[in-house]
Amino acid sequence: MGWREEYQSKLTTFEEAAKLVRSGDVVTMGFGPAAPSSEFYEALMDRWEELQDVRIVDALQVRKTRLYDPEFLEKVDGHITYSPGFGGGAVRPVYRAKRFDFFGGCATNSNAERYSNLADVFVQMVTPPNDHGFVNMGISSFYGMAIARRGREIGKLRIMIAEVNDKLPMVYGDNWVHVSQIDAFIENSAPVVTFARAVPGETEKMIAGYVSDLIDDRCTIQMGFGSIPEAIIPMLEGKKDLGVVTEMFPSGLPDLVAKGIVTNKYKPFHKGVTIASFCLGDQAMYDFIDRNPQTELYPIEYTNNPAFIGAHPNMRSINMAIMVDLNGQICSESIGHRLVSGPGGQPDFQVGAFLSEGGFPITVLTAARKQKDGSLSSSILPTLPPGTVVTVPRTFAHKIVTEYGVADLRDKSSRQRAEALINIAHPDLREELRAQARKLLYP
**Active-site residues: which are they?**
247
β-strand partners of 124: 162
Q: What angle (nearest 5°) sits at the alpha carbon of residue 237, between those of residues 233 and 243?
A: 70
Pairing of strands 338-339, 334-335: antiparallel
Residue 78 gets the label, from left (phi > 0), alpha (psi -120 to 50) or beta, of left
Q: In the 3-class helix/strand/coil scheme, how is 328-393 assigned residue by residue?
A: CCEECCEECCEECCCCCCHHHHHHHHHHCCCCEEEEECCCEEECCCCCEEECEECCCCCCCCCCEC
Write the CA distances from 112 to 105, 108, 122, 151, 257, integer angstroms.
10, 7, 13, 10, 30
- Please spell the DSSP secondary structure of 237-248, one letter per residue: TT--SBEEB-SB
Rounded CA separation 152/154 (Å): 6
Rounded CA separation 45/76 (Å): 9
Q: Report the residue count for the chain.
A: 443
Q: What angle (nearest 5°) sits at the alpha carbon of residue 135, between those of residues 132 and 137?
A: 145
| Number of alpha carbons in the 13 Å side-chain half-sphere of residue 70 | 10
DSSP H helices in 140-240: 144-153, 202-213, 227-235
